[in-house]
């Protein structure tokens, strides 16, 4: 039995759809029927379900709001909630798959991609909370997969692709930052790796996962809108200030995932597949 937390979110919905397709037994929960911020509720519900694997997709992801009005909720969901889920997983003997972020790094690395062994140094509240969640998982469990990902897009929720497509219907010119570099991640690809990790029993530990190749936000936007009648103009981060710190460079090394035998498609192919699935 697989338990999904945050099953109504962008990733959780994708995971639920994948498990439907594969015919595996699962229980999909959201905050209404599994409030992970309540320790007693979390423990009793997970003891009742007795999952073998927990896909912990529940998260607070409003990065800018986490800096001020959302700071308490960010801490409650991403730290306290994750610790509660990890303690429950420990109690029932379940494997835990925890989704983390490239924001655990400060984005200042000059010599190559971020590896799983690199020192973390989050510079915003969201990244700090997700790292605290990682540490709770490591402290409580041996049987876990921490999967750090970045620039997530998918069919089931707000994301950069939908935002760009929507803006392109309203404006003739869009400005997008060209000095922040990373790797886009399609939720379908991420969901498939989550299932692969748990089903194939790859070595426990921390992994970096996104689609292959890298780009700037400007290059990502240009590819998204290549068939649209809109001009995409590059700007600097200074010209587009945001409340929360954004890493200038968050390209994560994918070699550990590739070493498991999992095939990672590049982000351009993932984007095309996503566009095709979104139109169906």
* CA atoms of 67 and 58, how far apart (whole Å): 19
Q: Do the beta carbons of residue 218 and residue 173 sit within 8 Å?
A: no
Q: Do the beta carbons of residue 14 and residue 154 sit within 8 Å?
A: yes
* CA atoms of 213 and 228, how far apart (whole Å): 23
**What are the phi and psi torsion angles at 176 (to 5°)?**
-135, 140
Angle of CA points 238, 124, 115, to nearest 5°: 95
Catalytic residue among 126, 145, 207, 249: 126
Residue 126: active-site member: yes
* CA atoms of 206 and 112, how far apart (whole Å): 19
Query: Which residues does the annotation mark as catalytic?
Result: 126
């Amino acid at each position: 039995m697989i338990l999904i937390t945050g099953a109504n979110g962008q990733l959780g919905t994708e995971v639920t759809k994948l498990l439907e397709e594969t015919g595996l037994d699962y229980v999909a929960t959201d905050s209404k029927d599994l409030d992970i911020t309540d320790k007693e509720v979390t423990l009793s519900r997970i003891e009742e379900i007795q999952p073998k694997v927990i896909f912990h997709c529940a998260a607070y992801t409003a990065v800018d709001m986490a800096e001020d009005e959302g700071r308490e909720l960010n801490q409650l969901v991403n730290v306290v909630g994750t610790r509660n889920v990890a303690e429950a997983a420990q109690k029932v003997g379940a494997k835990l798959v925890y989704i983390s972020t490239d924001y655990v790094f400060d984005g200042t690395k000059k010599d190559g991609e971020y590896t799983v062994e690199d020192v973390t140094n989050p510079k915003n509240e969201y990244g700090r909370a997700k790292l605290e969640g990682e540490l709770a998982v490591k402290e409580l469990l041996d049987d876990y997969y921490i999967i750090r990902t970045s620039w997530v897009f998918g069919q089931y929720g707000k994301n950069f692709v939908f935002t760009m497509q929507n803006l392109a219907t309203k404006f003739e010119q869009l400005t997008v930052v060209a000095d922040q570099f990373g790797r886009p991640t399609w939720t379908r690809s991420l969901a498939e790796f989550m299932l692969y990790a748990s089903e194939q029993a790859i070595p426990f530990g921390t992994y970096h996962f996104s689609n292959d190749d890298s780009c700037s936000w400007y290059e990502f936007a240009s590819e998204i809108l290549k068939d649209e009648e809109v001009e995409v103009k590059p700007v600097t981060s200074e010209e587009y200030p945001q409340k929360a710190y954004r890493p200038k460079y968050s390209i994560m090394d994918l070699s550990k995932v590739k070493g498991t035998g999992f095939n990672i498609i590049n982000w351009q192919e993932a984007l095309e597949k996503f566009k095709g699935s979104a139109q169906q």
